[in-house]
Structure 1
């Protein structure tokens, strides 16, 4: 991919002037900065960027400069990249499936927050990670609708099993926390309410006072069904429901936006190669380039 640093007022001007043969990805740093500030100043807790949603160095650099001090990393590649760009950043290794070698990379780079959703993965962390000042967050799932894609199909323990894992985390000497993800492009704020209330029940079942509650990503960008996200209202709901559900045992809050944080800062310009049957449009870019058989997310 060739990078062009010339500034254009909007993508349509560039496309009309150049008629590019290949797809063009446009980046608006000012839009990214504004969205980052919206999260940092509006969310009632720590904002961590889900690096996997767009791992380009310029994204990480701009978010760091905008005041995003935490990063949700899912692999050693992402860990090393964030560590090189922002050595003092807080990194949360929230991919709940890891090899011992991957764990070793995280420990060497100073990662002190991990997530789990199974007994075998918890055993790995207990064996390879020093417990002192290290947080383990138990990821759980619920049958909650409202998202374009439900990550509960892959990750998350049941409420009952999450309580068992949480008690084990405490007993092993780690800092116990909980995490969930309501699903990609979640347009129903009630999903967060259901998850937060379930988190309080899990903590109560386990007899554990959790240090933090990670309310996941799932915050939508404006392009989902042309719905303008009411992020401030969602932030307020998260704070209010957490207060009500946990009372005096209220944990600190964490979020990990990905697409909702960076999606609006990028525009992909493509060309229409052909239209068939009045309904099939062929572009010069597509999902099959990444071997992904999925519809719009």
Structure 2
């Protein structure tokens, strides 16, 4: 904690992150304990070494990666981890390096073009390869709907399963993704019904089922009971004679790490009901541009500060771009002033990975709290 207090007293820096390894480790243990399969961590949510090490301490040893850079980060941090390259579009160089240099054996596709590429680069008779065919869910109520870019329709997915089975010795799986911050089980259940139909239509070639990510975190405007959600989804799988015996995996990102970090931003100016601080949508709070409201509190004199009264404020980042404004107003101490700090909590997911150095502002200091 001495390092945290030193940062709060440092007038040369206007932003920094804190990482809570204990929270991440405990949450990983709880999530894994409630999921009857293999939990992959989606690297895109937060690639910090502090985070990967805390997840490993919590029993997470399988990782969903999308690029060669992510493959290398996992390999360098946790050499014995198992990696799944679950981006439906990959370069030939990335495929070659992932397979031959880093030992990746699990991949995904959603088109005939990608299948052709995979067959060119990977050995068709390597039965240690697992190939997942990704299909698009029929519905999504997630905060971020991810169906617009990837996923074959069920008919094409069925065709691709047949093609892989006929031309390779690869082990086959299905995958889907209902979106990010999915707080309702309906889209998962509908997607699982599609999986049931595809498996029945493909002569039982499918051995694995990846139900993707989307497991939510808790924010001021978006709350969910993730253990209950996971339980309902997995119960639906167990009631299906077609799906219940498949090897089950998921790609949890936000749900594993959302509460494991805070972003501290110094108050640079207060003008009536507007607060300008050291971080905004370009500096780690992109999700607050229109989707999510992070919990926040004021710090003064190296301690949380509530004040004697509250008022509502609009929050702006430090850049010269007028878009650098959080979508949601915040109720804070009414006497908030220059030199105070705002702690944006629950920024463990899609904050570090989406920050930019736009306009010369960049949150590059990371403090790991005692575990």
Same fold (TM over 0.5): yes
Residues 102, 288 of structure 1: CA spacing in aligned structure 2 closer, same or farther, 3 A cutoff?
A: same
Partner of 2:110: 117
Residues 271, 166 of structure 1: CA spacing in aligned structure 2 closer, same or farther, 3 A cutoff?
A: same
Alignment match of 1:185 (pick from 146, 168, 181): 181
Q: Is the 8 A contact 1:44 1:235 kept in 2?
A: no
Q: Is the 8 A contact 2:137 2:177 kept in 1?
A: no
Alignment of structure 1 residues 96-135 onto 2, 5 Å: 96-107=88-99, 108-131=101-124, 132=126, 133-135=128-130
- 1:212 match: secondary structure: strand
Alignment deviations for residues 203-229 of structure 1 (CA, whole Å, 9 cap, x no partner): 2223333111111110011116251x3
Compare the two structures and name the one with the higher helix fraction: 1
TM-score, length basis structure 2: 0.71
**Runs of 5+ consecutive residues of structure 2 not aligned to the other structure:** 293-371
Alignment of structure 1 residues 145-294 onto 2, 5 Å: 145-173=140-168, 174-223=170-219, 225-227=221-223, 229-247=224-242, 250-274=245-269, 278=273, 282-288=276-282
TM-score, length basis structure 1: 0.88
Shift of 1:244: 2.1
Alignment match of 1:56 (pick from 38, 48, 51): 48
* Distance in 1 of aligned mates of 2:131 and 2:81: 18
Partner of 1:33: 25
**Which protein shows a greater Rg?**
2
Q: Is the 8 A contact 1:141 1:159 kept in 2?
A: yes
Compare the two structures and name the one with the higher strand fraction: 2
* Distance in 2 of aligned mates of 1:275 and 1:253: 51
Shift of 1:85: 2.0
Q: Is the 8 A contact 1:103 1:128 kept in 2?
A: yes
- 1:191 match: secondary structure: helix
Aligned CA RMSD, in angstroms, stands at 2.5
- 1:256 match: secondary structure: strand
- 1:195 match: secondary structure: helix
Alignment of structure 1 residues 73-88 onto 2, 5 Å: 73-88=65-80
Q: Is the 8 A contact 1:166 1:208 kept in 2?
A: no
Shift of 1:272: 4.0
Q: Is the 8 A contact 1:209 1:249 kept in 2?
A: no
Shift of 1:249: 6.2
Q: Is the 8 A contact 2:199 2:242 kept in 1?
A: no
* Distance in 2 of aligned mates of 1:109 and 1:43: 27
Alignment of structure 1 residues 62-73 onto 2, 5 Å: 62-73=54-65
Aligned residue pairs total 287
Shift of 1:71: 0.3
Q: Is 1:42 the equivalent of 2:42?
A: no
- 1:110 match: secondary structure: coil
Q: Is the 8 A contact 1:27 1:265 kept in 2?
A: yes
Alignment deviations for residues 228-252 of structure 1 (CA, whole Å, 9 cap, x no partner): x322222222222112234476311
Q: Is the 8 A contact 1:23 1:270 kept in 2?
A: yes
